[in-house]
Amino acid sequence: MVKRAASSAIAPAAKKEKVNPAFVEIQDALNKAEHLPANCRAMLAAMVPASFANAREERSEQQAAVIQWVEEALKLEQAKHSVACDTVGVQLSQIESSKAAQVAEVEKAEAVLAAKKDVLPLKKHALAEATIAMSFTKKSLAEKQEEQRSCDAPYMAMKKEQEGLAHAFVEHFKVPMEAGDSLHYAELQPFLVNVDL
């Protein structure tokens, strides 16, 4: 008795009803038909298996009407998808045409870059040579400036002596002569050492 009670307690699982895959696709398409209210979509989806259950010749007037509604809903959905596909196709062709232009620009830029890469070693070499030449010129300039300073020293001494002599000549020779006084030999004597008389 215990065994019978246990076997009766475990009821066999209800067999799952097989659904035609074509009906599932139609129902999915109807559920996505946003141009219909939600309750209409649900109603049409629910009526699909019953409406297509009989052959075309055996369908009732109601089944034919439901199939007509389903067909109209699916045609509208197809038209919506067709418009979306056309829009995407136009966008794709625009992207493709802009891609071709951009690829041409990239190739042009790569050609310019390659040309500049070819010139770069020459410019680096020219820069190195210019740097060496500038270093040599700086060194030469420093040497010439030092040479000029050493050559200018006697000239500057002579110029200073000349200025002193000119001043002494005016103050101690010319002015006393014009005034009828005696010359100031003591002030003129340091300058007379270098003068050949």
Structure tokens at 106: 């990239």
| Interval 151-178 mean pLDDT | 79
pLDDT tens-place string over residues 60-83: 888 888 888 888 888 888 888 888
pLDDT tens-place string over residues 77-109: 888 888 889 999 999 988 888 888 888 889 999
Please say whether the beta carbons of 69 and 61 come within 8 A.
no
Domain boundaries, the chain: 18-100, 153-192
Please say whether the beta carbons of 51 and 59 come within 8 A.
yes
Asked whether the whole model's pTM tops 0.85, one would answer no
